[in-house]
């Protein structure tokens, strides 16, 4: 009964004590208040192309210029915005919790790091790194904007006498997440399970796997589950505690750090 219209639930705090381990999973919603559009907010379309078209190996093979234009625009947009109070609240929480905190983000914009978060797993890669579409050279820092007439080629491949395009270091649809990233999250949840483990998802539609199933992994380890989202995501029923609204507002008052 309570909470159906807000009321007490709206005041409910997430208590963080010395025995609490917290894993936060963030998605595009966390950056929305910084001015970065979410994926599914615009029907999952970018210039009338489905997101999968500009974020998949097939899309890159078919039209690398289109894909680089998409990511170049995202680089430009991300450069021009700043972290919002939601990012800052998570950085402050990490400051208070130290190694009992881990942030897994599906965002590639780097805003969590800019807000001061350091224990961050960039599950879907980074907008600020580029790698080769062919060879195994290590991804490198890159904030360049590539226009249509200037697609970047791999110098390592060039030295070996063949041509390959560079691509953003993003985990695209149909690609695997880095095993070390998943292992780090898994290890954290296992360690946290020996204490009071909290799983907190923020600003994510729960539509993309494996991020969307992490809540089940955490539940299997006995985690308490919390959700902060503007609207109910696909996996909303997996959460015990839900706060509906803008993360930049809610996160500022959600935590009761003891």
Catalytic positions, written as ranges: 124
Q: Which residues pair with 42 in a beta bridge?
A: none
Q: Which is nearer to ligand OAD, 20 or 107 (CB)?
A: 107
Complex with ligand OAD: residue 54 or 157, whichever CB lies closer: 54
Question: Which of these segments, 31-39, 92-100, 127-135, 140-148, binds ligand OAD (CB under 6 A)?
Answer: 31-39
CB of 163 to ligand OAD, least distance (A): 26
Contact string 74-113 vs ligand OAD (x = CB under 6 A): --------------------------------x-------
d(CA 173, CA 56): 5
Q: Quick one: which of 64, 85, 110, 233 contacts ligand OAD (CB under 6 A)?
A: 233
When CB distances to ligand OAD are compared, the closest residue is: 29
Q: Which of 27, 64, 83, 85 binds ligand OAD (CB under 6 A)?
A: 27
Q: For 252, phi and psi rounded to 5 degrees?
A: -65, -25
d(CA 20, CA 221): 14
Site for ligand OAD contains 49 (CB under 6 A): no
Q: Which residues of 213-224 are buried (b: 16+ CB within 10 A; e: fewer)?
A: ebbebbbebebb
Angle between helices 85-97 and 247-254 (to 10 degrees): 30
What is the C-alpha to C-alpha distance for residues 227 and 230, in angstroms, rounded to an integer? 10
Q: Which residues contact 144 (CB under 8 A, 6 or more apart)?
A: 72, 75, 130, 152
Binding site for ligand OAD (CB under 6 A): 27-29, 32-33, 38-41, 51, 55, 106, 124, 171-173, 203-205, 207-208, 229-231, 233, 246-247
């Amino acid at each position: 009964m309570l909470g159906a219209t807000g009321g007490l639930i709206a005041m409910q705090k997430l208590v963080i004590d010395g025995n609490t381990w917290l894993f936060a999973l963030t998605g595009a919603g966390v950056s929305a208040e910084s001015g970065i559009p979410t994926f599914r907010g615009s029907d999952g379309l970018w210039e009338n192309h489905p997101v999968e078209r500009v974020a998949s190996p097939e899309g890159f093979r078919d039209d690398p210029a289109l894909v680089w234009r998409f990511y170049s625009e995202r680089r430009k947009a991300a450069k021009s915005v700043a972290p919002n109070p939601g990012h800052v609240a998570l950085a402050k929480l990490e400051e208070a919790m130290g190694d009992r905190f881990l942030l897994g983000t599906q965002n590639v914009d780097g805003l969590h790091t800019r807000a001061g978060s350091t224990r961050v797993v960039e599950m879907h890669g980074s907008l600020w790194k580029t790698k080769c579409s062919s060879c195994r050279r290590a991804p490198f820092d890159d904030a360049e904007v590539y226009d249509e007439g200037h697609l970047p080629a791999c110098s390592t491949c060039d030295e070996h006498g063949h041509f390959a395009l560079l691509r953003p270091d993003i985990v695209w649809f149909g690609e695997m997440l880095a095993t070390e990233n998943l292992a780090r999250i898994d290890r954290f949840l296992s360690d946290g399970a020996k204490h009071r483990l909290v799983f907190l998802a923020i600003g994510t539609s729960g539509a993309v796997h494996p991020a969307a199933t992490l809540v089940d992994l955490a539940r299997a380890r006995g985690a308490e589950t919390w959700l902060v989202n503007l609207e109910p995501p696909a996996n909303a029923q997996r959460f015990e505690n839900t706060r509906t609204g803008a993360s930049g507002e809610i996160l500022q008052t959600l935590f009761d750090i003891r």
